[in-house]
């Protein structure tokens, strides 16, 4: 039985692509790995030029990257460092992932949407998760970060799978999470400086 219906319209492929792009904001390599597994199993149609993702060497390479990425986020201090340096990578991954899903579109439309929407939503989700990790580092001296890392991993897997099965719902959930993160960031910036820190 197929995991999903083969994308047959620009709207469906757009929703799937954006949902998977947003998942890259949680973990960079998890969504491409899931895409490769689904494509190599014949459950997912990739857009033109992305057949390479449905090959065993790519699946193995992405699987190895997933394991290393997951492990790195459980190492104290390194997790916060990764949040900083991986931000551009999340945007790039979001753009590539969304482009691989945008079937039934011209190359110009595909890459325009991929760079602006796909990369953009991946970046927003990544910033939101980085803010949550930063707050955990301050409040728990880093002891709570493994819990955050586990939640992010679960979010990456769940939203990737949900994007393939119910893309509209997945995108809605991700937008809500990103919206909460952006709101918290704005509140943090607007918070008054305590008197003891003002001098």
Segments making up each domain of the chain, as ranges: 10-186
pLDDT at 4 over 70: no
Q: Which stretch of 59-73, 138-152, 173-187 has the lowest confidence by average pLDDT? A: 173-187
Closest CA to 45 of 75, 12, 68, 19: 12
Predicted pLDDT of residue 181: 65
What SS3 class is residue 116? helix
Length of the chain counted residue by residue = 199
What SS3 class is residue 118? helix
Tokens (6 digits) for 199: 């001098």
| pTM recorded for the entire structure | 0.80
- Average pLDDT for 10-34: 89
pLDDT at 135 over 80: no
Tokens (6 digits) for 197: 């820190």
**H helical segments located in the chain:** 10-24, 30-40, 56-72, 78-85, 87-101, 107-113, 119-140, 145-165, 167-190, 195-198
Tokens (6 digits) for 81: 């460092």
Q: How confident is the model at residue 50 (pLDDT cuts 50, 70, 90)?
A: very high
**If you average pLDDT over each of 44-48, 53-57, 175-179, which comes out highest?**
53-57
């Amino acid at each position: 039985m197929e995991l999903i219906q083969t994308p047959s319209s620009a709207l469906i492929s757009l929703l799937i692509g954006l949902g998977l792009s947003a998942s890259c904001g949680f973990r960079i390599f998890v969504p491409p790995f899931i895409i490769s597994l689904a494509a190599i199993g014949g459950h997912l149609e990739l857009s033109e030029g992305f057949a390479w993702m449905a090959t065993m060497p790519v699946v193995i390479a992405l699987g190895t990257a997933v394991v290393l990425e997951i492990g790195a986020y459980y190492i104290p201090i390194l997790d916060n460092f990764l949040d900083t340096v991986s931000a551009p990578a999340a945007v790039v991954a979001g753009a590539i992932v969304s482009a691989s899903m945008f079937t039934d579109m011209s190359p110009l439309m595909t890459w325009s949407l991929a760079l602006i929407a796909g990369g953009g939503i991946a970046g927003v989700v990544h910033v939101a998760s980085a803010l949550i990790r930063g707050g955990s580092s301050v409040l728990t001296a880093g002891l709570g970060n493994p819990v955050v890392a586990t939640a992010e991993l679960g979010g990456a897997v769940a939203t990737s799978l949900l994007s393939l099965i119910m893309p509209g719902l997945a995108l809605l959930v991700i937008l809500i999470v990103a919206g909460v993160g952006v709101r918290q960031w704005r509140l943090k910036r607007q918070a008054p400086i305590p008197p003891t820190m003002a001098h």
